[in-house]
Amino acid sequence: MVVVITGASKGIGAELARQLSAKGAKLVLAARHEPDLATVADECRQAGATGVITVRCDVSVEHDCQTLVTGALLAFGRLDVLVNNAGATMWARFEDIEDVEVLARIMQVNYMGAVYCTRHALPHLRASGGLVVGISSLAGKVGVPTRTGYSASKHAMTGFFDSLRIELGGSGVDVTMIFPGFVSTGIRENATGPDGKPILVSPVKEGEVMKVEDCAARIVKAIERREREVVMTARGKMGLWLRLLAPGLVDRIARRAVEKAGSPQGQD
Ligand SMILES: NC(=O)c1ccc[n+]([C@@H]2O[C@H](COP(=O)([O-])OP(=O)(O)OC[C@H]3O[C@@H](n4cnc5c(N)ncnc54)[C@H](OP(=O)(O)O)[C@@H]3O)[C@@H](O)[C@H]2O)c1
């Protein structure tokens, strides 16, 4: 099985790569920082991957995404799974944001990055009867204060992949959407604050949220079963049902979770 993972240099993407290695996958690891990718590639080889290449790729640039897919084909001759995982977040109230360009950048990486990679991978996924995976977020299902641009980008992913799934019906290509809550990675330290710079200190008690190993293990299972979607926490699942009956209550819960940042039950 040949798997392309974007955002594989750290966090969920890197752990997913390590866990898929143990199952003997061939991996194409993509991100912008090549030294980090090289480290993850070594770990994957040690963990049992039957082939690993790294590709420097900024998913916000369509040509990079095209080169990524070409690289996978040249190295392994086929493509079975594309995991659209690369992403960036923010932590600022909309009215406090100094330069609204921040929202455009997040949209370009989280949403258009997934669109570009999927566009170039699809002919090859059709040939293999493959799978497209989108790593969204609970914020791709519900609104979250301080995450306007992020939540919009993840909702965009959800709408795009839900629509694409229908278009691909009968093609042999499946679409799997993943909706994690907070997972302990460096994403929040790098979150863009109101001044456009990384906030550097995570507002969340990272030791109390889902471990990256558990998140990646659930994604591996979803890939193996070609599941339609995975809402990762019980509280997330309950919130989606509750939202149908009492949307205002769910808004209040989201507000409270962010106000007392550090709540392990939050949505990113
Ligand atoms: N952690 C959470 O709480 C959480 C919750 C829900 C959903 N998610 C989603 O899960 C995915 C992975 O997040 P994470 O927590 O693992 O974050 P992370 O540790 O910050 O890793 C993000 C990855 O994305 C890559 N990336 C960022 N911008 C990129 C770009 N323009 N082009 C290519 N790669 C880029 C980074 O690599 P380079 O910097 O080397 O490019 C890195 O490998 C994201 O889509 C995120 O929204 C995370």
Mean pLDDT of 90-118: 98
pLDDT in tens, 157-176: 999 999 999 999 999 999 99
When the pLDDT of each residue in the chain is averaged and rounded to a whole number, the result is 95
Asked if the model's pLDDT at residue 71 lies above 50, the reply is yes
Probe residue for ligand 1, chosen from 57, 147, 187 as the CB with the greatest number of ligand atoms within 8 Å? 187
Give the pLDDT score at 258. Answer: 82
For residue 183, which atom of ligand 1 is closest to its CA?
3
CA gap 229, 219 in Å, rounded: 10
3-state secondary structure labels for all residues of 43-76: HHHHHCCCEEEEEECCCCCHHHHHHHHHHHHHHH
Asked whether 61 and 35 are in contact (CB, 8 A), the reply is: no
Probe residue for ligand 1, chosen from 4, 6, 10, 61 as the CB with the greatest number of ligand atoms within 8 Å? 10
Q: At 224, is the secondary structure helix, strand, or coil?
A: helix
Q: Give the pLDDT band (50/70/90) at residue 204.
A: confident
CA gap 34, 184 in Å, rounded: 22
For residue 184, which atom of ligand 1 is closest to its CA?
1
pLDDT in tens, 121-136: 999 999 999 999 999 9
Probe residue for ligand 1, chosen from 109, 155, 185 as the CB with the greatest number of ligand atoms within 8 Å? 185
Any idea what the Cα angle at residue 109 is, between residues 128 and 204, rounded to 5°?
110
Mean pLDDT of 72-96: 98
Q: What percent of the chain has pLDDT over 70?
A: 97
Q: At 204, is the secondary structure helix, strand, or coil?
A: coil
Active site includes 111?
A: no
Q: Give the pLDDT band (50/70/90) at residue 261.
A: low
Asked whether 94 and 107 are in contact (CB, 8 A), the reply is: no
Give the pLDDT score at 267. Answer: 60
Helix (H), strand (E) at residue 139: none
Mean pLDDT of 84-106: 97
Out of 111, 116, 150, 161, the active site residue is 150
> Which residues are within 8 A (CB) of 192 and not within 5 positions of it... i.e. 6 or more apart?
88, 89, 90, 91, 92, 102, 105, 106, 198, 199
CA gap 131, 268 in Å, rounded: 24
Ligand 1 centre and the CA of 254: distance in Å?
22
In 3D, which of 218, 259, 263, 212 has the Cα closest to residue 10? 212
Ligand 1 centre and the CA of 85: distance in Å?
6
Give the pLDDT score at 10. Answer: 98
Give the pLDDT score at 102. Answer: 97
Give the pLDDT score at 263. Answer: 42
Give the pLDDT score at 11. Answer: 98
Return the C-alpha torsion angle 2, 131, 105, 254, nearest 10: -120
Asked if the model's pLDDT at residue 243 lies above 70, the reply is yes
> Which residues are within 8 A (CB) of 237 and not within 5 positions of it... i.e. 6 or more apart?
231
Ligand 1 centre and the CA of 170: distance in Å?
31
Ligand 1 centre and the CA of 63: distance in Å?
20
In angstroms, what CA-CA distances link 160 with 9, 13, 133, 227, 249?
25, 21, 12, 17, 28
Which residues form the pocket of ligand 1, taking CB atoms under 6 Å from any ligand atom?
6-13, 31-33, 36, 57-60, 85-89, 109, 135, 137, 180, 182-183, 185-187, 190, 268
In 3D, which of 219, 123, 134 has the Cα closest to residue 171? 123
Q: At 242, is the secondary structure helix, strand, or coil?
A: helix
pLDDT in tens, 38-58: 999 999 999 999 999 999 999
Ligand 1 centre and the CA of 9: distance in Å?
9
